[in-house]
Amino acid sequence: MLEFFNSTQTIHTIIIIGSMCLFFIGFYGIATQKNLVKVLVSFDIMESALFLFFIGLHYQVGLVAPIVDSNLKTFTNMVDPVPQAMILTTIVIGLAVLALGLSFGIEYYKLTGRNDISKMNELRD
């Protein structure tokens, strides 16, 4: 039973299902939520799902983190470092945009007392 769970195939399947569920929860969130903070959180959920998806699919059974130490002298049998680097970058970018969005939201709330994005319609035809 445990061996079944320890196969790359199973892990990947679980990761795909889990991350995609999370992704489409976020998808549902941005489609239905009108509160700015909730919308931003939904986006964050989607992003996180993508991170999980990407990192998870690059794990294979038997591979270790790409760091050498006293026991491990060569860079073999290690997971791909590029997805990790990319995700690190994406996380920081996501954080930056989210923080900026929140600051816009705060300032807008101070001016108007609203945070419902469907009611932001002073700019319209």
Partner 1 sequence: MNSIFLLLNLLPILFLYQFEGALHVSLPLTNEFTLSLIQTPLGSFFAYLSLISFLLVTIAQKSKKLSFSYYALQFLLSLAMLAIVLAGDFITFFIGWEIMTWSSYFIISKSNNMNIKSLQKYILFSLASAFSLIAGIVIAYSFANSFDFVAISNSFESMPFNIKVALIVLFSLSFFTKAGVIGLHYWVVDTYSKAPDLFSSILSAVMSKMGIYGLFLIYGNIIGYHELKIMFGTMLNGTDFGYVLAWIGVATSIIATFKAITQDEVKKLLAYSSIAQLGYIVAVIGFGTSYGVAGAMYHTLIHTIIKLLLFINVAAIVAQTGKNKFSELGGLIYRTPVSFVMLLIGIIGLAGMPPLGGFASKFMMYNAAIDTKFALILIGMLFSGAASFLYCYKLVYGIYLGHPTSKSLESTKEVSIHYLIPQIILALLLVLTGAFPGAFIKVINPILKEFSLSTIGYDGLGVMQSAVGNFNGFFIISAFVVIFLLILLLIWRIKSKAKNNLNRFDISYCGEVPTADTSLHYGYGFGTELYRIKFVNAILKRSSSHFYESLATQTKKTSELFSRMYYGNIHNTMIIILLFFSALFFLGVN
Partner 2 sequence: MSLGYYFLLPVIFSFLTPYFKKLGSFTLRGSTILLMLILFLQTLAYTGVTLPQISEFSLKPPLGIAFILDGYSLLFLLIFTFSALIVSFYMVWFFKANKGRDEARFYVFFNMLIAGSIGMILSCDIFNLYIFFEITGICSYALSAYNKDKLGLESGIKYLIIGLIASIFIVFAIMLIYLQIGTVNLGLIAQRFGQIDPKISVLIVLMLFIGFGTKAELFPMNFWAPDIYQGSMASVNGLFSSVVAKAYLFVFFHLFYLFGLNSKYMLFVMVIGAITFLVSEFTALNQTNIKRLFAYSTLGQLGILFMALSTNSSATVSGALFHLTSHSISKLLIFLALGILIHKFKSAKIDILGNFKSGFLTIVLAIGFLSILGIPPFSGFVGKILILKGFALTQNYAAIAFILLVSIVEAVYFFRLTAMMLDKKRTKISVPIGFANYVVLSVLAVLIVLFGVYPSLLTHYTDLATNALLHPTNYLNYALGVGL
Partner 3 sequence: MNLKKVLPLKHILLSILSSALLLSVLGLLMQVKTNLYKNVGDIFLNLNMQTATANAVTSVVTFFRGIDTVGEVTVLFLATSGIALMLSDTQRTCEKVVKQESFILNVGSRLLLSVIVLFGVYIIIHGHLSPGGGFQGGVVIATAFLLLFLANPNMSLSHSILTLGESLSGVAYVLVALIGLFKMNILLGNFLPHPIGEIGELVSGGIIPVIYILVGIKVGSEMSVIVEYFSKEDYYKEVCDA
Closest CA to 77 of 94, 103, 50, 59: 59
Q: Is 93 in the site for partner 2 (CB under 8 A)?
A: yes
Residue 47 binding: pick among partner 3, partner 2, partner 1, none (C-beta 5-8 Å cut-off by kind)? partner 2
Q: Is 67 in the site for partner 1 (CB under 8 A)?
A: no
Q: Which of 6, 7, 14, 92 binds partner 3 (CB under 8 A)?
A: 92
Q: Is 111 in the site for partner 1 (CB under 8 A)?
A: no
- Alpha carbon distances (Å) from 90 to 6, 94, 95: 29, 6, 8
Task: Return the number of other C-beta atoms located less than 10 Å from residue 34's C-beta.
Answer: 12
Provide the 3-class DSSP secondary structure of residue 121.
coil
Count of residues that bind partner 2 according to CB under 8 A: 33
Count of residues that bind partner 3 according to CB under 8 A: 46
Give the rounded distance of the alpha carbon of 73 from its chain centre: 32
Contact between residue 55 and residue 83 where contact means Cβ atoms under 8 Å apart = yes
Residue 67 binding: pick among partner 1, partner 2, partner 3, none (C-beta 5-8 Å cut-off by kind)? partner 3
Residue 34 binding: pick among partner 1, partner 3, partner 2, none (C-beta 5-8 Å cut-off by kind)? partner 1
**Residue 39 belongs to what H/E stretch?**
helix 36-57
**Toward partner 3, which CB reaches closer, 6 or 17?**
17
